[in-house]
Structure 1
Amino acid sequence: MFNRTTVYVLVAALAAALGLLAARAWFDHSPAAARPALKAARLFDPPRELPAFSLRQSDGTPLVPGELKGHWTVVFLGFTHCPDVCPTTLAQLAGAQKQWATLPEASRPRVLFVSVDPERDTPDLIGEYAHAFHRDTLAATADVPALETFARSLSMVFAKVPAPEGVAADQYTMDHSASLAVLDPQGRLTGFIQPPFDPKDIAADMAALSEAAP
């Protein structure tokens, strides 16, 4: 007999699978674009406009679609209590950020970390956490409905997994998509980077895209 959490996680997994199938369909049917050869990122054409969203940045200011324009952006969903995937991924992204640091600020790619655990992750906490990996990483969160809408727009999912019996209730964990979403300078979803991640390949791809004509 499935409990409610198991059903929720199964539904989330199914949604993730459908999102990956949709992404593959975009990739398989997208025409060749006048873009540099890429190693890690897989882009599709045409890019997908994101619906309206409003997240809260670590400095307390709102993060709305207009804030993501002007730069190529890599988006990662996670949470600060994550024991392995999140710190590993942010460390790999920090490695990529160090390699593209010489690019002009006006065209330098950006990394956005979005916490899907607003119950524990305050704006201050996510800022401290993200900046411990790299000072330029943007960090944001929101209430659960807003996060669900944002995640769906990126073909990603997340779900809260309650703590096991006998463990404090606040020791729950979060299941979430491990892939990275790639947004173009117009703030549109235009591709994905799938694990395992190679910082050198990610840096090379994002630098090439940023240096290429829009």
Structure 2
Amino acid sequence: MKTYQSGKSNLLFIVIAIAAIAVGFLAQLSNSPDNQAPDFEKTILLPQPKPITMVPFSTHLDQPFDAVDWQGRWSIVFYGFTNCPDVCPTTMQTLKQVKADLVTAGVWQNFRIIMVSVDPKRDTSERLAQYVPFFDAEFIGLRADTESTTEFAKQMGILFINGQDSGEANYDVDHSASIILIDPQARYAGVMTAPHSAEIMTRDLIKLASYRPATAAAVTSPATLTREVNAMPSSAQSAVNAEGSAVTITNAWIRPAPSTASSMAAYLDITNNTSVDVTFTTVEADGFAMSMLHETMTQNEMTSMRHVDELNVPAGHTVHLAPMGKHIMLMRPEKPLQLGDVRRITLITSDGERFSRDVEVRTPEVN
């Protein structure tokens, strides 16, 4: 199995420190007695929005996105990339639910949701056109060259470390997990800090919609969307090796992804029903060129991913592989997967024991 490991260096620690200082600075500003912003739960607004020097972006439809295009609505901006198997699709799914809730609340006309690519080398307009509308047809994907994207992001305290110089085809990008708010006058207005909850974000954005109602342009509200609720599998299945020593695998699912996705993620719960610890070191997945145990880590608003050498499940305990944490990374699918497709995933212990489970592609329920 090929080992992938996200690069860690002194530069990363410097970036994390800068990000922490930036978030602390914003928090101090938001607590100013002169600030009359609503009582937000996870949103920090600057007492005075900051002008932004715009850069030449193009959309996922290969259309220019200029300074005037940022005006008229609040822009909810997430920085991500299409090869991200866990953090980015998790956040985009959360934003999809946020949009549906804002539509239901009757305030969506005040907002737009944008994903800015931090990996323009691989994220072509064509690739973004497959990725961004997969989550919602009204979402906007933006890209520029790396220098312009860096210049734009730094104005809002957003930092990222692109691993394209490593020479690896499947390099990762460590990036800020914060979601940026740009006001209807195209100024940097605030930040929504991670981790992100659709319910909390919606409550904050409903408050934001009435904070400066005169600044939002009047637009036609889109049709109301219904909340997607996806049922859990009807029954749990167990994975038992040939000798009958039981490890139970439940709540297993693969996150759906656009047809162009080169990586996906699988999640599941592993229960060790034996009296001794079980250590998993390898994972195999039918229909994928490569698979591995993987982990997403968030520290001081920066997210990074790394290969996990082994996964220990103590005797009598359950280990949860879940979004934004430990998961199974599935790379280079043989063909695009559709909702309802099933792939067999096999977990292999350090002793060579194999535990398999058929896992369905399904949309997660968002909280």
**More helix per residue:** 1
In structure 2, the CA distance between the partners of 1:176 and 1:30, relative to structure 1 (3 Å rule), is farther
Q: Is the 8 A contact 2:107 2:206 kept in 1?
A: no
Other-structure match for 1:113: 115
Equivalences for 1:46-125 in 2 at 5 Å? 46-102=48-104, 103=106, 107-125=109-127
Structure showing the higher strand proportion among its residues: 2
Higher relative contact order (CA 8 A, sep 6+): 1
Q: Which stretches of structure 1, 4 residues or longer, exceed 4 Å deviation after superposition? A: none
Count, aligned residues: 206
Give the whole-Å Cα distance in 1 for the aligned partners of 2:155 and 2:204: 23
Counterpart contact for 1:72–1:206, Cα < 8 Å: no
| Structure 1 counterpart SS, 2:9 | helix
TM-score by length of 2: 0.52
Which amino acid letter does the alignment assign opposite residue 161 of structure 2? A
**Offset of 1:203 from its aligned partner?**
1.8
Q: Specify which of 24, 42, 53 is matched with residue 21 of structure 1.
A: 24
SS in 2 for 1:127: helix
My pick for the range that moved more, 16-25 or 171-180, is 16-25
Aligned residue number for residue 179 of structure 2: 180
Q: Write the distance in 1 (CA, Å) between the matches of 2:75 and 2:116.
A: 12
Q: 1:16-64 deviations in whole A, cap 9, x for unaligned?
A: 223223322322336232x443333221211111113221111111222
**Cα distance in 1 between the residues matched to 2:32 and 2:50:** 14
Do the aligned residues in 2 keep the contact of 1:5 with 1:161 (CA within 8 Å)?
A: no
- 2:183, 2:8 → 1: CA distance? 35
Gapped runs of 5+ residues in structure 1? none
Compared CA separation, residues 134 and 161, structure 1 to 2 (3 A): same
Counterpart for residue 358 of structure 2:
none
CA contact (8 A) 2:115 2:142 kept: yes
CA deviation string 1:46-105 (max 9, x = no partner): 111111322111111122222111111111101011121111111011100011124366
Q: Cα deviation per residue 1:139-168 (whole Å; 9 max; x = unaligned)?
A: 10111100100110111100113698xxx7
| Rounded Cα–Cα distance in structure 2 between residues aligned with 1:80 and 1:11 | 26
SS in 1 for 2:48: strand
Q: 1:169 to 1:131 in 2, by over 3 A?
A: same
Give the 3 Å change call, closer, same or farther, for CA 14–197 of structure 1 in structure 2: same
| Alignment partner of 1:133 out of 119, 128, 135 | 135
Across the aligned residues of Structure 1 and Structure 2, the Cα RMSD in angstroms comes to 2.3
1:191 aligns with 2:190: yes
In structure 2, relative to structure 1, the CA distance for the partners of 1:65 and 1:26 (3 Å cut) is farther
Quote how far apart the aligned CAs of 1:209 are: 2.2
Cα distance in structure 1, aligned partners of 2:158 and 2:168: 26
Secondary structure (helix, strand or coil) at the match of 2:88 reads helix
For normalisation by structure 1, the TM-score amounts to 0.86
Runs of 5+ consecutive residues of structure 2 not aligned to the other structure = 1-6, 215-367
Specify the SS of the correspondent of 1:42.
Answer: strand
Letter in 1 for 2:87: V
AA in 1 matched with 2:55: F
Instruction: Find the aligned partners of 1:207 and 1:20 in 2 and give their Cα distance.
Output: 23
Match of 2:225 in 1: none
In structure 2, the CA distance between the partners of 1:32 and 1:22, relative to structure 1 (3 Å rule), is: closer
